[in-house]
A and B are shown apart, each in its own frame.
Chain A
Amino acid sequence: MSTASDPTDEVLLTMSGIVKTFPGVRALDGVDLEVRAGEVHCLLGQNGAGKSTLIKVLSGAHQPDEGAILWRSTPARLTSPDAALRLGVATMYQELDLVEGLSVAENIFLGHEPSRFGFSNRGSARRQARELMRRLGHPEIPPGREVGLLSAAGQQLVSMARALAHDAKLIIMDEPTAALAADEVDNLFRVVEDLTDDGVAVVYISHRLDEIRRIGDRVTVLKDGRTVGTNLPADTPTADLVNLMSGRMVETVFPLREVTTVDEGNEVLTVTGLSRKGEFSDVSFTVRAGEILGIAGLVGAGRSEVLETVYGARKSDAGMVTIGGRRLRPGSVSAAVAAGIGLAPEERKSQALLLDQSVANNVTLASLPEYSRFGFADRGRELRDSRATLERLDMRPADPRRLVRTFSGGNQQKAVVARWLVRDCKVLLLDEPTRGVDVGARAELYRLIHELAAAGVAVVLVSSEVPEVLGLSDRVLVMREGRVLTEAPAKELTEASILDMVMEGSEVVV
């Protein structure tokens, strides 16, 4: 299908040597990208490869530190999202940025409403909106309908209509099919083909290789913030693409497991047939004392949902969780905590920490009954135990009275882990433990995770970074779209083989 649209040779956009640094991270480290008018240019790369940052630079949300951007061979500066729009670059974000309470027409023209003498011209807006929806193949969506009442696919269309309303020459689509059913995907692709026939260029981001083969013209592969392959034909063999994406430069050496203290037979946590409608189904695994089980998969594969369900923060529809042979009451966090499970959630700041309170208060939050006598908090013991735990975790400064807000990301993560250490938890669920943590602190967290396992804790680790899962775990569970694909010892898997499994539609096994 890659010949359906006929890319011209006119180069619309050239980016060269783009560098963007954030405190502690070099997110983009020399990216080159060339987009021609009328082509579908696919962007591939693992999580953290720099795709999102590149989109933000292209849409004017971030300013690059170095590098040149040429728009139709003349230097261009995308100083703001508005500047990018005026140039003709429109972005459809993965998280749709629509106002649910407004109508289809109002959303399409948000910020540039057709107006006469300062009064919005609703008639004209509706006419144009109806025309745009017809062009997108959905004349049945009325311009006056409230966007919140539309399906995911309908909202996607509104988002695309908005891009078209700006008369965009280049449309960036960030995983547009993630929320769509198969027939809706077909319609989306038809629209994309119509657009490219009109000379509009599309930068298409997806993890699904079959989609890229269906509509892509050329592919650029990013790794570690750099372009590692560019202007590849869309029918490049899967093996080659995966090879380009994998072998990421690992910034930290993973500590070797000195002693593998996995206690055969001593299964602490057993999950059987766990399901939650629309999130994941029939997930089973066991973790032994002293073992680290990694869960690999793309964002949205259901990994975090599984962890939160085991923890009781979400209620399972089917299946059960047993800990030390005893069945856990579903949907009860306090039962899970009492049974010895601890969770370091994905969003550290919004789900785990009281930022404006002291470290000690955060550390004892899950153990308040243990740190009190007749309801009165035992502050002396609280401070002593917190300080001892902070020193054990090498948290700097090890001052339990300091506010959590004043610590770095890595130290904040240690405070979350400390919460479960003070109550000697048996099972520790870690969801993206190194997100937003700088390189030095990462190594320390890795060492800490190994130490915990060595001390007999059963650890379940979820991470979007495949090397991290492989480097830390004893066994790995690979998930895709809510299902467990494989369970295997970490040493039998490679980064490339996992990537191949999680990218839907890759028919070739490397």
Chain B
Amino acid sequence: MSDVSEKSPSTVDNRPPAVQTAPPKKSGGFPLDIRLTILIGVLVALCIVGYALNSTFLGENNVSIMLRLAAAIGVVSVGMTFVIISGGIDLSVGSMVALSSVWMTTLATQEYGPWVMVLCALLVGLGAGLINGVLISYGKVVPFIATLAMYASARGLAERLSERQTQVVREQGFLDFFRGDLLGIPVLIWMLAVVFVVGWILLNRTTFGRRTFAIGGNTEAARLAGINVKLHTAMVYAIAGLCCGIAAIMVVARTTSGASTNGMFYELDAIAAVVIGGTLLTGGRGTLIGTLIGVLIFTVVNSIFTQNNLETDIQNIAKGVIIVGAVLLQTLTSRRAKT
């Protein structure tokens, strides 16, 4: 029976095996695709607008201010990029920044000196992120809910620890270092650069990054390829938490205080920056360079508005328009790529 080969003209398919010709070549790590070029174009255009309105816009002073403002949210967005590429979401980043900033600036912590303050912020962020991750991967709570709970409770704990007071940093060594310059460049900007570079290498050059993309792209395929999806997911949220700890140090340095109101709306700004940067909210695809440009676009818009004394309500409308515009652009370009 096995090699019956009665052929009938209608059932035999004589076409050559399908070979697609047009090569839409583009892989995850390759930085310069159309979308990114457009994003950079938008950023440059915004800078030109800023310069036209006020010639000091591109001065050394203003650029330094802009970058220092962008630094903390930039670091948070790096962590958020990992989470979103892995197919998740983290609504608690702002609250984790607040909690870390409060915990590191309590009188008790400050007594131990600057390095314990730094360590405290990192551990609090890492711990909160790990709780998110364990709840999500081992407790099977959906990311939206688990991090929504952390969003509420971390800020609540921050309020309790600080009794809603602003905790001023008395530790001069801490301020001297983190508010200072290194090789003529502010330490805050160095920190953003280091986090970004380390994050980029982790995402694009290591097996950890490869697994993150795999889990976000197709969780079941990753599991069936023998990847420990649960452990990895927990680690991704821990990284997001750690980034919040680092961001808390930066916020505390910039404002010279820790408060439970720090990091307000960071989750929205970070998600917006990641999405503008071309990372798919459904996971599996995205770049850190896109995220960085997304953060910079927002910072530049902010700066244009404040430098020219424009109303913040218009600023928020502008932000909304930018988010929608960027996402529409992506749908259009990806549709074209598929046809």
Interface residues of A (CB under 8 A from B): 24-26, 29, 224-225, 246-254, 256, 311, 313, 333-334, 336-338, 343, 345, 350-358, 361, 365-366, 368-369, 371-372, 375-377, 396-397, 399, 401-403, 406-408, 410-411, 419, 438-441, 444, 467, 470-471, 490, 494-496
* In the complex with contacts A26-B10, A250-B5, A354-B214 CB distance below 8 A: yes
Q: Is the CB of A438 within 8 A of B18?
A: yes
Interface residues of B (CB under 8 A from A): 1-8, 10-13, 15-20, 23-28, 205-211, 213-214, 217-218, 220-228, 284-285
Question: Which of the residues A24, A254, A396, A444 comes within 8 Å of B13, measured between beta carbons?
Answer: A24
Q: Is the CB of B2 within 8 A of A470?
A: yes
Q: Is the CB of A438 within 8 A of B17?
A: yes
* In the complex with contacts A29-B10, A356-B285, A375-B206 CB distance below 8 A: yes
* In the complex with contacts A368-B211, A376-B206, A24-B15 CB distance below 8 A: yes
Rounded to whole angstroms, the CA-CA distance of A46 and B85 in the bound complex is 43
- A–B pairs, 12, beta carbons within 8 Å: A24-B13, A24-B15, A26-B11, A249-B7, A250-B4, A333-B224, A352-B224, A369-B207, A376-B205, A403-B25, A410-B17, A438-B13
Rounded to whole angstroms, the CA-CA distance of A354 and B222 in the bound complex is 9
Q: Is the CB of A470 within 8 A of B1?
A: yes
Q: Which residues of A contact B27 (CB under 8 A)?
A: 357-358, 361, 401, 403
Question: Which of the residues B13, B207, B209, B284 comes within 8 Å of A440, measured between beta carbons?
Answer: B13
Q: Is the CB of B284 within 8 A of A354?
A: yes
Q: Which residues of A contact B10 (CB under 8 A)?
A: 26, 29
Which of chain B's residues has its CB closest to A416's CB?
A: B221
Q: Is the CB of A249 within 8 A of B28?
A: no
Rounded to whole angstroms, the CA-CA distance of A256 and B209 in the bound complex is 44
Q: Is the CB of B6 within 8 A of A494?
A: no
Q: Is the CB of B20 within 8 A of A407?
A: yes
Which of chain B's residues has its CB closest to A493's CB?
A: B1
Rounded to whole angstroms, the CA-CA distance of A401 and B228 in the bound complex is 25
Q: How many contacts between A and B, using CB within 8 angstroms?
A: 159
Q: Is the CB of B17 within 8 A of A440?
A: yes
Q: Which residues of B contact A441 (CB under 8 A)?
A: 17
Q: Is the CB of A343 within 8 A of B2?
A: no
* In the complex with contacts A26-B10, A354-B217, A439-B12, A467-B1 CB distance below 8 A: yes
8 smallest A-B Cβ distances: which pairs? A337-B226, A408-B18, A439-B13, A471-B2, A366-B225, A354-B217, A368-B207, A365-B225
Q: Is the CB of B221 within 8 A of A361?
A: no
Q: Is the CB of A408 within 8 A of B2?
A: no
B20 to chain A, nearest CB (A): 5
Rounded to whole angstroms, the CA-CA distance of A107 and B209 in the bound complex is 45
Q: Is the CB of B226 within 8 A of A377?
A: no
Rounded to whole angstroms, the CA-CA distance of A352 and B226 in the bound complex is 11
Q: Is the CB of A402 within 8 A of B23?
A: yes
Q: Is the CB of B207 within 8 A of A401?
A: no
Q: Is the CB of B207 within 8 A of A352?
A: no
Q: Is the CB of B224 within 8 A of A343?
A: yes
A378 to chain B, nearest CB (A): 10
B227 to chain A, nearest CB (A): 8
Rounded to whole angstroms, the CA-CA distance of A410 and B20 in the bound complex is 13
Q: Is the CB of A251 within 8 A of B13?
A: yes
Rounded to whole angstroms, the CA-CA distance of A188 and B226 in the bound complex is 44
A216 to chain B, nearest CB (A): 27
The listed residue with most A CB atoms (<10 A of its CB), out of B214, B220, B224, is B224
Q: Which residues of B contact A467 (CB under 8 A)?
A: 1-2, 4
Rounded to whole angstroms, the CA-CA distance of A494 and B4 in the bound complex is 12
Q: Which residues of B contact A248 (CB under 8 A)?
A: 4
Question: Which of the residues B17, B18, B208 comes within 8 Å of A375, measured between beta carbons?
Answer: B208
B12 to chain A, nearest CB (A): 6
Q: Is the CB of A251 within 8 A of B11?
A: yes
Rounded to whole angstroms, the CA-CA distance of A375 and B4 in the bound complex is 52
Q: Is the CB of A249 within 8 A of B18?
A: no
Question: Which of the residues B5, B213, B221 comes within 8 Å of A353, measured between beta carbons?
Answer: B221
Q: Which residues of A contact B227 (CB under 8 A)?
A: 334, 365, 368
Q: Is the CB of A402 within 8 A of B25?
A: yes
Q: Which residues of A contact B221 (CB under 8 A)?
A: 350-354, 365
A503 to chain B, nearest CB (A): 17
Q: Which residues of B contact A350 (CB under 8 A)?
A: 218, 220-221
* In the complex with contacts A249-B7, A343-B224, A401-B25, A368-B210 CB distance below 8 A: yes
Q: Which residues of B contact A470 (CB under 8 A)?
A: 1-2
Rounded to whole angstroms, the CA-CA distance of A371 and B206 in the bound complex is 10
The listed residue with most A CB atoms (<10 A of its CB), out of B211, B217, B222, is B217
Rounded to whole angstroms, the CA-CA distance of A25 and B15 in the bound complex is 11
Q: Is the CB of B226 within 8 A of A336?
A: yes
Question: Which of the residues B5, B6, B28, B223 comes within 8 Å of A357, measured between beta carbons?
Answer: B28
B237 to chain A, nearest CB (A): 19
A315 to chain B, nearest CB (A): 13
Q: Is the CB of B26 within 8 A of A403?
A: yes
Q: Is the CB of B20 within 8 A of A365?
A: no
Q: Is the CB of A494 within 8 A of B13?
A: no
Q: Is the CB of B16 within 8 A of A440?
A: yes
Rounded to whole angstroms, the CA-CA distance of A471 and B3 in the bound complex is 7
Q: Is the CB of B1 within 8 A of A356?
A: no
Rounded to whole angstroms, the CA-CA distance of A393 and B218 in the bound complex is 24
Q: Which residues of B contact A411 (CB under 8 A)?
A: 17
Rounded to whole angstroms, the CA-CA distance of A439 and B8 in the bound complex is 13
Rounded to whole angstroms, the CA-CA distance of A197 and B246 in the bound complex is 76
Which of chain A's residues has its CB closest to B13's CB?
A: A439
Rounded to whole angstroms, the CA-CA distance of A26 and B15 in the bound complex is 13
Q: Which residues of B contact A402 (CB under 8 A)?
A: 23, 25
Q: Is the CB of B15 within 8 A of A355?
A: no
Which of chain A's residues has its CB closest to B27's CB?
A: A358
B268 to chain A, nearest CB (A): 27
Q: Which residues of B contact A444 (CB under 8 A)?
A: 17
* In the complex with contacts A397-B19, A470-B1, A249-B213 CB distance below 8 A: no
Q: Is the CB of B28 within 8 A of A361?
A: yes
B279 to chain A, nearest CB (A): 12
Rounded to whole angstroms, the CA-CA distance of A366 and B213 in the bound complex is 14
Q: Which residues of B contact A397 (CB under 8 A)?
A: 19
Rounded to whole angstroms, the CA-CA distance of A365 and B16 in the bound complex is 30
Q: Which residues of B contact A250 (CB under 8 A)?
A: 3-6
Q: Which residues of A contact B228 (CB under 8 A)?
A: 334
Question: Which of the residues B11, B18, B207 comes within 8 Å of A377, measured between beta carbons?
Answer: B207
B49 to chain A, nearest CB (A): 35
Which of chain A's residues has its CB closest to B5's CB?
A: A253
